[in-house]
Structure 1
Amino acid sequence: MSQEQYPLNVAADTSLDSGVQRRVPEKTPIQILHEYGTKTGNLPVYLLEKSEGEAHQPSFVFSVKIGDVSCSGQGSSKKAAKHQAAEAALKILQIDGGAVSVPVKSESNGVAADSSNSVGKLQEIALQRGWRLPEYTVLMEVGPPHKREFTVTCRMESLTEKAVAHTKKAAKKAAAEKLMAKLQSLSDGSEITWTLQSSVRLENLRNSSAEKLSLLRRNPLSIPNTDYIQMMLDLSKEQGFEVTYFDIDELTVNGQYQCLAELSTSPVTVCHGTGISCSNAHNDAAHNALQYIKMMASTK
């Protein structure tokens, strides 16, 4: 699958003696907005609002909030949608592609995030350690307009947490608080010492000859009463990725339970499952995830 490239601004470079002009890529809207947020102490927070469309033609909608400015963007990839949202925010802030010149509010480790809440603290930790910034996703939105409930996931590298609240902002904050608590738990203390593990790239599984993965390649995934949750757990421990199950409160039209199984691979793998109980739905999601891993690990 070819990766979509967002069109970058370019500038002519005439420093060559030959006089030939060379097109040099400038910063993307995401980079410019992040630089502005770092210097003002209001880092941009991106939220995946919607993901729809067929597998061959997906559509994503991302919102971005920076200070009092909120914008959204749509694209055929998450990256393109984020670019559109960032570009819209830059227009409102009246920032062009040149150097961002605003006073720096904090000089602590070069990070100017608002650390008074968990959302700001997570961003500060990510910047200090060179990790990818936390990504927030609206997993589900249910209930009548006067009593809406939002389920938001917070993902930072291989860690994921979710929370439910009556507003997206509250759910995002609660999910960030849970992830902060997980980081502290993994660090065995108040100081965050957890070390990032490299994400398992799906294409690398094709060259793996590990025992559990070899068994997955050889054996069918159609044996009745198989504990696919345990199979997935064993495989994840062997290959070094995490599996998280998210229950969906809303039943299917047939009255079955639903859940999502999320694998902390690169790219992240999410598979849906249904069943007559929560445990059956988890087992079905694990089965579907195993099928996908088997396909990826067997394709040459």
Structure 2
Amino acid sequence: MSQEGYQSPAAVETTADTGLNMHEMQMSNPGKTPIQILHEYGTKTGNLPVYVMEKAEGEAHQPSFVFCVTVGDVSCSGQGPSKKAAKHHAAEAALKILQIDTGPVNVPVKSESNGVAAETNHHTNSVGILQELALQRGWRLPEYTFLMEAGPPHKREFTVTCRLESLSEKAVGHSKKAAKKAAAEKILAKLQSLSDCSEITWAPKPCVRFENLRNSSAEKISLLRRNPLSIPNKDYIQMMLELSKEQGFEVTYFDIDELTVNGQYQCLAELSTSPVTVCHGTGISCSNAHNDAAHSALQYIKIMASTKSVNQGDTCGVQGTEGTGGTE
């Protein structure tokens, strides 16, 4: 990853090859934010900027966020008291490397409330970018699911999930549109991190059907069939990770904001099987909830991948629906 202040040769070539008149761009920029200017540059060069949150720390009354922006071969980081401010500083650093003068800009200090994504970065259409990417790669189009609405009438909070192939991300916003854009942004960021480079090279894995799991004689699935899932203090997250790598599906954990009536943390484990499997877990901490969700998912796979399930013709009644865990 390029560091702030570093100008890669590729970045110089990109600027030169586009034939952009930097003086004209600088003259048309007064009053615009770094995010807007960088987006205009990305539109002209064909390299739209992608923002990734790298760090969120500090107290609730004094938070600190760090965002990384990648545009072409240039990557820069920015820090600020809000997500929007951090994005602005990251964009400003990238513009300096690209030798684009931002002129007088206004970087907002606060645009977040209680960790809820505000309607920021209006000029970067993450929903459109994600859909265009899916069409170009021949993927299934992104699916958006409205999960819940909370908060007082003057300060509503909407939760939306975005699913692209085997990837899923949840986001919250002060409107459905803002939450949808934030979820799409998270998917783009995940695609970027999975590609491990500025260009998105990630490719979806083929769907893993339960029939494949039943017919598999690989080591991890065979051990799952033979051994009980009742070992105290067992790391079921690691066990699930090893099984998913062996069988070629992915596991995503979603933390649920609300605690149970007993004050425990909640989590959902989503498996990219066909059909998709979702299992619930609870615990005295987030990690315990993740482990419990992994345990439930392993129990479900054990049932569905067993010879007994095949002979009974899937009498469990969960094939073709989203699973919620099982018992041995």
Query: Structure 1-normalised TM-score?
Result: 0.58
1:233 and 2:256 equivalent? no
Residue pairs, 1:86-235, within 5 angstroms: 117-235=125-243
- How far apart are the structure 1 equivalents of 2:262 and 2:194? 40
Give the corresponding residue for 1:276.
Answer: 284
Quote the offset at 1:133 in angstroms. 0.8
Quote the offset at 1:129 in angstroms. 2.0
* Consecutive unaligned residues in structure 1, runs of 5 or more: 1-114
Amino acid aligned to 1:248: I
Amino acid aligned to 1:287: H
Report Cα offsets for 1:239-283 as digits up to 9, x if no partner.
111111111111112221111111111211111111122111111
Quote the offset at 1:116 in angstroms. 5.8
- How far apart are the structure 2 equivalents of 1:196 and 1:273? 26
Amino acid aligned to 1:280: N
- How far apart are the structure 1 equivalents of 2:250 and 2:296? 16
Quote the offset at 1:141 in angstroms. 3.3
Amino acid aligned to 1:234: E
Amino acid aligned to 1:222: S
Quote the offset at 1:190 in angstroms. 3.5
Amino acid aligned to 1:264: S
Query: What count of residue pairs does the alignment treat as equivalent?
Result: 186
Higher strand share: 1
- How far apart are the structure 2 equivalents of 1:150 and 1:116? 20
Q: 1:252 to 1:144 in 2, by over 3 A?
A: farther
Query: Structure 2-normalised TM-score?
Result: 0.54
Query: What is the SS of the residue equivalent to 2:140?
Result: coil
Report Cα offsets for 1:24-73 as digits up to 9, x if no partner.
xxxxxxxxxxxxxxxxxxxxxxxxxxxxxxxxxxxxxxxxxxxxxxxxxx
Quote the offset at 1:210 in angstroms. 0.8
- How far apart are the structure 2 equivalents of 1:257 and 1:265? 25
Query: What is the SS of the residue equivalent to 1:254?
Result: coil
Q: Does the 8 Å CA contact 1:152/1:171 hold for their aligned counterparts?
A: yes
Instruction: Report the aligned-residue RMSD.
Output: 1.8
* Consecutive unaligned residues in structure 2, runs of 5 or more: 1-122, 311-328
- Runs of 4 or more, structure 1, over 6 Å off, are none
For the pair shown, the structure with the greater C-alpha radius of gyration is 2
